[in-house]
Amino acid sequence: MRSPKAELVLFSLAGVAGFLVDAGIVWVFTRAGVDPLTAQAVAFTVAVTVTWLLNRRFTFAHRASPHWLREWLHYVAANSIGAAVNNGVYVLLVLSMALFSREPVLAVAAGSLAGLVFNFTASRAWVFRPH
């Protein structure tokens, strides 16, 4: 069994892989003429599946459920809420604090951190909970 710290590191690495998949698909699709919203919808679906597979195989392998479809659906739901947390923190900071409106990349970082914490906690407690 891994420590929570080790799980967080592996979860974060899976998140980096997911970001690269997400950004890569958006880049390829938009260059091919697909509108950005459709490109992101496809990219999110693929990226969240990639991160689920990585987390299922490496981060939470000892907690993976034999009911993989239910697990995947819970993971997608949790990460969708996490995306809302990420974007909500970004919007809140940019609209409410001058520093973040002048330097929105700081709001991106804060939103990403909030989303990471939410997604990790939800994944550990709800999606990949101990049997």
The angle subtended at Cα 115 by Cα 113 and Cα 117, nearest 5°, is 70
What is the structure's pLDDT at 130?
83
Which residues constitute the domain of residue 101? 4-127
For the whole prediction, is pTM greater than 0.85? yes
Length of the chain: 131
Q: For residues 48 and 77, give the distance between their C-alpha atoms in angstroms, rounded to a whole number.
A: 10
Mind listing the pLDDT tens digit of every residue in the chain (131 residues)? Answer: 899 999 999 999 999 999 999 999 999 999 999 999 999 999 999 999 999 999 999 999 999 999 999 999 999 999 999 999 999 999 999 999 999 999 999 999 999 999 999 999 999 999 999 87
The angle subtended at Cα 26 by Cα 114 and Cα 124, nearest 5°, is 35
Q: Look up residue 118 and give its two tokens.
A: 């939410």
What is the structure's pLDDT at 68?
97
Q: Give the chain's domain count.
A: 1
What is the structure's pLDDT at 131?
74
Q: For residues 31 and 13, give the distance between their C-alpha atoms in angstroms, rounded to a whole number.
A: 27
What is the structure's pLDDT at 1?
81
Torsion of CA 29, 35, 41, 46, to 10 degrees: 0
Q: For residues 12 and 59, give the distance between their C-alpha atoms in angstroms, rounded to a whole number.
A: 10
